[in-house]
Structure 1
Amino acid sequence: MTTIGFIGLGVMGAPMAANLVGAGYDVIGYNRSRGRVDALVAKGGRAASSVAEAVRGAEVVITMLPDSPDVEQVVMGEDGVLHHAQAGTLLVDASTIRPDVSRAIAQACRARGVRALDAPVSGGEAGAIEGTLSIMVGGDPADFDAAHEVLRAVGSTIVHVGPAGAGQTVKAANQLIVAGTLELLAEALVFLSAHGVDLASAVEVLGGGLAGSAVLQRKAPAMLDRRFEPGFRVDLHHKDLGIVLDAARAAGVAIPLGAHVADLLASLRAQGGGQLDHSALLLQVEKLSGEDNELAPNRAASR
């Protein structure tokens, strides 16, 4: 039985770790808040009280953490993964971080005899629960082959996209597309509402045409019900678009629409919407259209 150390049992990490347990892996979970670890133990996993305890003896270590500094600290910091991992351990970072940081981590891993993959995921909390995530993987092809069976327990679309850092670059593009689609969906709903169209019927027919997308399918129902409990927080998408903008600037490419959506997300966050789901871009479009709303989840529809 493969032993997997799983570090970071948040909204995405917890169901991913649970699916690995369900697939028959020996999963040792670590999280800063103990309640998340206890929940994994209740599902058949094992508990670790530190990064060191999660890593020792693990053949695979998976990290799912909020941002680049978190991954750098957990992997390369004092008493981090590289301090305790045995030679040949496979490190799979499923976090969404800067591509240059992933490349630096891969280099540090090679120096310690540890194999590293950057394997960010897309599909949101629902995809994590269902085990249907899309996983874009950067790193050595042989290491990808070694990790593929493990990744199959958490994802349904698993693709090697290039060397170290390539997975994070593709994830940045993913976040660019999702943000742009969410913004246009929000604008469409406000537009349709202003013309008195039945929104549920409109969403149904739009979903069957070229405008249909996973974003529309997964996010439109909650937007219509004005439910903005976070599946993916505005704070995190704001961070991700910062990665996109930095990477685009470094490459010398223009992303004018992406930059505009990044500004809209930043404004939504500045108004107190950081903890809402990113579909709360709907509230931002309503404000820009002259509607008086509040950045609060579960507000009853005003029309």
Structure 2
Amino acid sequence: MAAAGAPVGFIGLGMMGLPMARSLLRRGRHLIACDSSEAARAALAEGAEPGAVRFAATPAGVADEAEVIVLMLPDSRIVAQVMEGEGGLLAALRPGQLVIDMGSSLPAETQRLAALAAARGAALIDAPVSGSVVKATAGTLAIMAGGDDAAWARAEPVLRDMGEALIRTGATGSAHAMKALNNYVYAAGLLASAEALRMAEAMRLDLGIFADVLNASSGRNVATETKVKQEILPGRYQGGFQLGLMRKDLETAGAISAETGVEAQALQLCRALWGEAVAALGPKADNTEIHRFLGRAT
């Protein structure tokens, strides 16, 4: 375990990364952070205790000062750039350092980078999160973690400062696989719920009562419980997860389908519809806007 008071490295201060980094600060951690956005850096520094946050110009600069380094980046392409690009982490890693990839990356790419880190005597594990910006802000995320016992022992205290439910999933790469498959199941449930709402609307059914029926019956899922009355029926569409990120997770699930040889026909249909929604509404639209897209398509 890193010595008490040693700074935690944090790379990636986006929609989820910023509140996660703030959660670490609230728990008394000191951070050495890196992000290309000046606004994101300023937002993290604002309100922080004097000396609690410092910034490095490059990922390598983070590795110079931190023994445990958290990555919260959009996808495997960006992770690879941060690890292997100019000023990247990989060349600066020392024996005993730990990198925790908390984004949603391709499992095979995670395993490749873990092998490169291991060749330098360091470790890289995957610990993707489940939960909204609200849960990231509160420090109550669900976190899946793949990696061996030694890496887990070092990562756990840091992860507990950002999450409430921690689940070990197996070897490195397994957490990223389970996260993608989980998000496919969520996307399928949300899509089915949105389609059912559009059909109920066409029949002039009371949609509020229909939502109650779903939640009291076998159609209940996280979308019916937390999205229908809260976001879809009032037309708020502010669930906190972007359409583009949903599509990315479905593409990761598609890569798993191809790698395993499992045809997954429902997944292919889901990928196609979410892809059409992104093309129509843009990647930054909220994932609950799949309901609005279905309304436009009829």
Shared fold, TM over 0.5: yes
| Alignment-derived partner of residue 54 in structure 2 | 47
Residues of 1 paired with 2:8 and 2:202: CA distance?
A: 52
Whole-angstrom CA distance in 1 between matches of 2:40 and 2:239: 17
What secondary structure, in the 3-state scheme, does the structure 2 residue paired with 1:225 have? coil
Q: Which whole-Å CA distance do the structure 2 matches of 1:13 and 1:192 have between them?
A: 38
Match of 1:299 in 2: none
Could you tell me the TM-score, scaled by structure 2's length? 0.91
Give the Cα separation in 1 of the matches to 2:212 and 2:61: 49
Once the 2 structures are TM-superposed, how far is the Cα of residue 132 of structure 1 from its aligned partner? 1.9
Q: Which residue in 2 is equivalent to 1:222?
A: 231
Query: CA, structure 1 residues 35+47, in 2 after alignment: closer, same or farther (shift >3 Å)?
Result: farther
What letter is aligned with 1:284?
A: F
CA RMSD of aligned residues (A): 1.7
| Shift of residue 156, structure 1, vs aligned partner | 1.4
How far did residue 160 of structure 1 move? 1.3
Which of the numbers 35, 38, 42 marks the counterpart of 1:38?
42
> Where do 5+ consecutive residues of structure 1 fail to align?
291-303
Q: Which runs of 5+ in 2 are unaligned?
A: none
In the alignment, the residues of structure 1 paired with residue 47 and residue 89 of structure 2 have an alpha-carbon distance, to the nearest angstrom, of 25
Aligned residues of 1:5 and 1:27 also touching (Cα < 8 A): yes
Q: Closer, same or farther in 2 for the Cα pair 1:205/1:23, shift >3 Å?
A: farther
1:56 counterpart SS class: helix
Contact 1:234 1:277 in 2 (8 A): yes
The one-letter code of the counterpart of 1:135 is: I
Q: TM-score of the superposition, structure 1-length normalised?
A: 0.90
Q: Can you list the C-alpha shifts for 1:178-230, whole angstroms capped at 9, x where unaligned?
A: 11011011112212222323323432453344433333333221111222347
Report if aligned partners of 1:29, 1:54 keep a CA contact under 8 Å in 2: yes
Give the one of 120, 133, 145 matched to 2:128.
120
The alpha-carbon deviation at position 276 of structure 1 amounts to 0.4
**What is the correspondence of 1:236-275 to structure 2 with a 5 Å cutoff?**
236-275=245-284
Q: CA deviation at 1:55?
A: 2.6
- Asked if structure 1 preserves the Cα contact closer than 8 Å seen for 2:214 and 2:220, the reply is yes
Within 5 Å, which residues of 2 pair with 1:280-299? 280-288=289-297, 290=298
CA contact (8 A) 1:120 1:167 kept: yes
Check whether the contact 1:232–1:277 (CA below 8 A) recurs between aligned residues: yes
Q: Is the 8 A contact 1:229 1:277 kept in 2?
A: yes
Partners of 2:73 and 2:169 in 1: how far apart?
A: 21
Q: Which residue number in structure 2 is paired with residue 100 of structure 1?
A: 108
| 1:148-187 superposed matches below 5 A | 148-187=156-195
